[in-house]
């Protein structure tokens, strides 16, 4: 008897099936959204993508609606197989269910055995993405005849930008499926289910066809500028040169390997410079593969060590995405983007959102859950490693070599946010002091003994060694606390 392929809600692209005759199982449950308040647009995207896939498959698909995955699987006759899930929770459910076979992962280029062989080499020091990326590029012959990372000259790109003059990406057009999803979510709200963020027309692809059209547009129009604008933030253009396809990759609508090869071809044919292609490939093939492998390589209970003694709970205004309560222009703008779109690009996530949480000493584990539920691309395997390790430095340097903490002047270098803001990025003390600049200095002073071994941060501390100033900054930022800046 042919096994029915169970497609999880993040395995919705054609590469998760072996042929066009294979019977399919799709399970719809509120368990997909987790137990915490999820962004309304993320809930809509998940359900819309799952139902669009069901419509595409037609009679091949058995759709089961149940309270939990276990309840749904108990109602399916015959053998079931599923590609390796992306979460430990669902893997445990699949592994413990009768007649369910777990297949190797799909949707990633590298495999777990390959990563373990690299990570377990004798005398291997801390696992670093750059080393893994170089290894993976050689192993899979990606950009092998060009430098994997062509310098950092793009930091010098102008930051006071006007929006890029490129055609808008292909529009997402809602249909009857989206209308029914919206009605169902409204009913859930009436039944007591709580969401965060604003509802609105769907902005992210829910089908392979939509995602592929967005990818083609990115490769043609935005990729050529990616190297210049990868690290830039602008209040006038929330997209800049970013693809905004992270949710499409994380839902399995797109397979990363063809996307990497397409970007590489754009360079080889002379259409796009290597300085643009290499950082995009580094994100999709380097960083994405690295954090996926780390999620499975480390012990399941690993959730960070709070090494920097971060123990403050996330404040209500941040949890509720209340951008209007914030006067700091960068934080207000980025938080509004999360509220309105369920998305922000990675410099905004690290330099504005994560940086502020780090400076204020918010609990990393709570921040992981906030990112996972507030972003349309949120997934445990992504957010745990990225937030705990790279953003909050709470993993004993397993992912990054230093805390991702910067002051307002650094944000001013990479953005146009400080123009028109009531705060001044160079000011540390006083009513006009930037909360990021004062917060950065207070963060250094609170953690001076823990950070003394880092050369860059030790130098920063040496420049701020006046005891009177130290006490003034600490008192100022303690008074500010976790209130909206």
Q: Are strands 61-65 and 38-39 parallel, antiparallel or unpaired?
A: unpaired
pLDDT of residue 123: 78
316-480 domain in CATH 1.10.579.10?
Answer: yes
- The yes-or-no verdict on residue 218 having pLDDT over 80 is yes
How much of the chain exceeds pLDDT 70, in percent? 89
| Predicted local confidence at residue 105, as pLDDT | 95
Domain span(s) for CATH 3.40.50.620 in the chain: 4-103
- Can you name the residues that pair with 195 across neighbouring β-strands? 38
Three-state SS at 83:
strand
Rounded Cα distance, 443 and 357, in Å: 11
What residue ranges of the chain are covered by domains with CATH 1.25.40.80?
112-175+183-297
pLDDT over 80 (residue 36): no
pTM for this predicted structure = 0.91
Average pLDDT, the chain: 88
- In angstroms, rounded to a whole number, what is the distance separating the alpha carbons of residues 416 and 19? 49
Provide mean pLDDT across the span 33-60: 92
CA nearest neighbour of 120 among 103, 107, 132, 138: 132
Q: Which of 141-145, 180-184, 201-205 has the lowest mean pLDDT?
A: 141-145
Candidate from 11-25, 320-334, 391-405 with smallest mean pLDDT:
391-405
Question: What does DSSP assign to residue 103?
Answer: E
Mean pLDDT lowest for which of 143-147, 153-157, 307-311?
153-157
Query: Which residue has 């993040």 as its token pair?
Result: 10
According to DSSP, the residues that pair with 25 across neighbouring strands are: 6, 62
The reported pLDDT for the residue numbered 34 is 62
What pLDDT does residue 402 have?
61
What would the DSSP string read from start to end of 41-69? Answer: HHHHHHHHHHHHHHHHHGGGEEEEE-SSH
- Report pLDDT for 424: 96
- pLDDT above 60 for 430: yes
List Cβ neighbours of 136 (8 Å cut-off, separation of 6 or more): 109, 110, 142, 285, 286, 289
Helix and strand numbers, DSSP H then E, in the chain = 23, 7
CATH numeric code, 112-175+183-297: 1.25.40.80
The pLDDT value given to residue 444: 86
Q: Alpha helices of 298-363 — where are they, by DSSP H?
A: 316-319, 329-341, 346-347, 355-360
The pLDDT value recorded for residue 35 is 67
Is the pLDDT at 395 greater than 60, yes or no? no
| pLDDT for 165 | 82
Mean pLDDT highest for which of 154-158, 232-236, 397-401? 232-236
Cβ atoms 377, 247 nearer than 8 A = yes
Total residues belonging to the chain: 485
CATH 1.10.579.10 in the chain: give the residue spans.
Answer: 316-480
Hey, what CATH topology would domain 4-103 get? Rossmann fold (3.40.50)
- Cite the beta strand spans of 181-303 per DSSP E: 195-196
- Statement: residue 449 has pLDDT above 90: no
pLDDT at 410: 93
The answer to whether the CB of 118 falls within 8 A of the CB of 135 is: yes
Question: Distance between CA 156 and CA 318 in Å, rounded?
Answer: 32
pLDDT, tens only, 336-390: 999 999 999 999 999 999 999 999 999 888 888 999 999 999 988 888 777 766 6
**For residue 401, pLDDT beyond 60:** no
Give the pLDDT confidence score for residue 201 in this predicted structure: 94
Per-residue pLDDT tens digits for 94-140:
999 888 999 999 999 999 999 999 999 887 777 888 899 999 999 99
Of all residues in the chain, the percent with pLDDT exceeding 90 is 66
SS3 433: strand
Banded model confidence at residue 404, pLDDT cuts 50, 70, 90? confident
Distance from C-alpha of 349 to C-alpha of 232, rounded to nearest angstrom: 12
């Amino acid at each position: 008897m042919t096994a029915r392929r169970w497609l999880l809600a993040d395995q919705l692209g054609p590469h998760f099936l072996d042929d066009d005759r294979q019977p399919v199982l799709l399970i719809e449950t509120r368990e997909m959204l987790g137990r915490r308040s999820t962004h309304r647009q993320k809930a809509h995207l998940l359900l819309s993508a799952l139902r669009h896939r069901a419509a595409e498959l037609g009679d091949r698909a058995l759709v089961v609606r149940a309270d939990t995955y276990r309840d749904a699987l108990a109602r399916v006759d015959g053998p079931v197989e599923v590609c390796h899930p992306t979460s430990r929770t669902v893997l445990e459910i699949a592994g413990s269910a009768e007649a369910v076979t777990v297949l190797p992962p799909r949707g990633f280029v590298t495999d777990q055995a390959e990563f373990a062989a690299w990570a377990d080499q004798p005398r291997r020091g801390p696992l670093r993405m750059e080393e893994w990326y170089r290894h993976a590029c050689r192993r899979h012959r990606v950009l092998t005849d060009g430098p994997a990372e062509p310098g950092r000259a793009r930091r010098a790109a102008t930051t006071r930008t006007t929006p890029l003059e490129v055609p808008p990406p292909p529009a997402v057009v809602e249909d009857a499926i989206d209308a029914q999803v919206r009605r169902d979510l409204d009913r859930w709200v009436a039944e007591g289910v709580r969401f965060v963020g604003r509802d609105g027309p769907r902005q992210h692809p829910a089908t392979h066809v939509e995602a592929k059209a967005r990818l083609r547009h990115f490769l043609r129009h935005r990729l050529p500028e990616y190297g210049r604008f990868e690290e830039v933030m602008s209040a006038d253009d929330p997209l800049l040169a970013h693809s905004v396809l992270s949710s499409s990759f994380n839902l399995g609508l797109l397979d990363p390997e063809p996307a990497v090869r397409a970007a590489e071809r754009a360079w080889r044919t002379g259409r796009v410079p290597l300085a643009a292609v290499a950082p995009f490939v580094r994100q999709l093939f380097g960083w994405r593969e690295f954090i996926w492998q780390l999620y499975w390589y480390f012990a399941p209970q690993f959730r960070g060590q709070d090494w920097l003694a971060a123990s403050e709970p996330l404040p209500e205004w941040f949890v509720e995405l209340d951008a209007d309560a914030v006067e700091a222009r960068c934080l207000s703008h980025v938080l509004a983007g999360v509220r309105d779109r369920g998305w922000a690009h990675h410099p905004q996530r690290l330099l504005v959102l994560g940086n502020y949480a780090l400076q204020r000493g918010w609990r990393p584990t709570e921040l992981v859950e906030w990112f996972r539920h507030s972003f349309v691309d949120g997934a445990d395997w992504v957010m745990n490693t990225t937030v705990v390790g790279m953003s909050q430095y709470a993993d004993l340097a397993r992912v990054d070599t230093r805390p991702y903490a910067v002051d307002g002047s650094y944000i001013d270098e990479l953005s146009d946010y400080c123009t028109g803001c009531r705060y001044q990025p160079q000011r540390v003390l006083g009513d006009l002091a930037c909360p990021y600049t004062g917060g950065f200095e207070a963060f250094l002073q609170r953690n001076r003994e823990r950070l003394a071994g880092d050369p860059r941060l030790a130098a920063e501390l040496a420049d701020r060694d006046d005891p009177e100033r130290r006490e003034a900054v600490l008192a100022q930022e303690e008074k500010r606390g976790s209130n909206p800046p």
